[in-house]
Amino acid sequence: MKTIKVSVVTPDGPVYESDVEMVSTKARTGELGILPGHIPMVAPLQIGAVRLKNGSNTEFVAVSGGFLEVRPEQVTILAQSAEQSSEIDLERALRAKERAEQRLHERKQENVDFRRAELALQRAINRISVAERKI
């Protein structure tokens, strides 16, 4: 099967680089699957998992605050943070989740802190589910 080059890049350095058969992820507008030969495209991503399929083997990368850029010969994901499933610190993610939940309980009003806690919770849940591969 044809493959396409995929790289996941963050400000702290490249996270993933490989040739895969299919990239699927969640964009702001909905689920998005990219196969080789896709038309050039840019789309902002949700906090979520990027699934990279190669034969029978699927790899997961947790991404937050990112973009997907598709070019004829390669797909680039630019994210503010990204981790491969094997590199996620599950303990830390669980702690972050608890912290965020606690904060959400404390103040229920609509303000900046609330919004931030919500985002933090989303990121933590995303990391946990990617680490446990329950997607």
Residue 69: CB atoms within 10 Å: 16
Q: Judged by CB under 8 A, does residue 67 bind another protein?
A: yes
Residue 122: CB atoms within 10 Å: 16
Q: Judged by CB under 8 A, does residue 37 bind another protein?
A: no
Between 52 and 78, CB nearer to another protein: 78
Between 52 and 75, CB nearer to another protein: 75
Contact assessment for residue 43 and residue 67, using Cβ atoms and an 8 Å cutoff? yes
Kindly tell me the sign of the dihedral angle through the C-alpha atoms of 53, 59, 62, 65: negative
Spell out the alpha helix ranges (H) of the chain.
90-106, 112-132
Between 58 and 81, CB nearer to another protein: 81
Residues 71-110 that bind another protein (CB under 8 A): 71, 76, 78, 80-81
Residues that bind another protein (CB under 8 A): 9-14, 27-29, 32, 39-44, 65, 67, 69-71, 76, 78, 80-81
